[in-house]
Amino acid sequence: MKLEDTSAIVTGGASGLGAATARALAKQGAKVLAMDLGPSIDRAERIEGVTYRVADITSAEDVFQAVAVASASLPLRTVVNCAGILPSARVLSKGAVHDLGVFAKVIEINLVGSFNVLAASAAAIAKTEPDENGQRGVIINTASIAAFEGQVGQIAYASSKAGVVGMTLPAARDLAQYGIRVNSIAPGVVETPMLADISEEFREGLAAGIPFPKRLARPDEFAQLVLAIIDHDYLNGETIRMDGALRMSQR
């Protein structure tokens, strides 16, 4: 699918995976709307071809307004959900039960937020004219290998990302009649702001556990995979691991 003279939405677009993806899409000629929270946008490095919009992905109103802006002048063809949070807590820790509010918040942002953007964007994409192959657009969600091998303390995060994996195929089937493909990427350990506070020693330990390449993934490699999925018209309903053959241990 061609990106030139089309519109794209990237959530979490002010940093990390989202910023790398927004940059890659803009370089391919797409007009990108990067959605994120205000403080993240304030700190963001500005990218040519990318417009920033403050929006909460769990808000139906915020998302529908952002989609309307993104699809106003050019056909919306690409949506990439990168926004998410990664708290850590065990079901039981020193006798204390996992905070239910924290669990619910992770599900709301990582899973419900992704669905909110997917559904609102699909409604706009479905109204566009299809290309010569009957395709109207691609929606790519961000899962995680924690969806398959959640570690100690990842009960909320792993559950939310397993939900993203679970909705990928039914979403692709639901939207097939409109010529919209839906895929997900399940990254392993990526060098993003989420890892900014960990020590170099711990970072080296993470890299040592990856079969090959023995390093953390880069955000631009995630963006490269996004472009490959967009370009490959037969990829649909799939979750692709990007993890250097890593299979997460218990801890």
Choice between 45 and 196, residue whose per-residue pLDDT is larger: 45
* pLDDT in the model for residue 207: 86
Catalytic residues: 157
* pLDDT in the model for residue 19: 97
Q: Picking from 120-134, 199-213, 217-231, which range would have the lowest pLDDT averaged per residue? A: 199-213
* pLDDT in the model for residue 192: 82
Query: CB neighbours (10 Å) of residue 6?
Result: 22
Q: Does 199 have pLDDT greater than 90?
A: no
* pLDDT in the model for residue 197: 62
Global pTM reads 0.95
Burial (CB count <10 Å: 0-12, 13-18, 19+), residue 73: exposed
Task: Please give the full DSSP string across the chain, using - where no structure is assigned.
Answer: ---TT-EEEEETTTSHHHHHHHHHHHHTT-EEEEEE-HHHHHHPPP-TTEEEEE--TT-HHHHHHHHHHHTSSS-EEEEEE-------B-SEETTEEPPHHHHHHHIIIIIIHHHHHHHHHHHHHTTSPP-TTS--EEEEEE--THHHH--TTBHHHHHHHHHHHHHHHHHHHHHGGGTEEEEEEEE-SB-SGGGTTS-HHHHHHHHHT-SSS-S-B-HHHHHHHHHHHHH-TT--S-EEEESTT------
Which CATH code fits 7-242? 3.40.50.720
* pLDDT in the model for residue 71: 97
Q: Mean pLDDT over all residues of the chain?
A: 95
Q: Does 193 have pLDDT greater than 80?
A: no
Quick one: what percent of the chain has pLDDT higher than 70?
Answer: 97
* pLDDT in the model for residue 206: 80
Quick one: what percent of the chain has pLDDT higher than 90?
Answer: 90
The 10s digit of each residue's pLDDT in 147-161 is 999 999 999 999 999
Average pLDDT over residues 116-135: 97
Q: Where are the domains of the chain?
A: 7-242
Average pLDDT over residues 34-60: 97
* pLDDT in the model for residue 239: 98
The 10s digit of each residue's pLDDT in 64-108 is 999 999 999 999 999 999 999 999 999 999 989 999 999 999 999
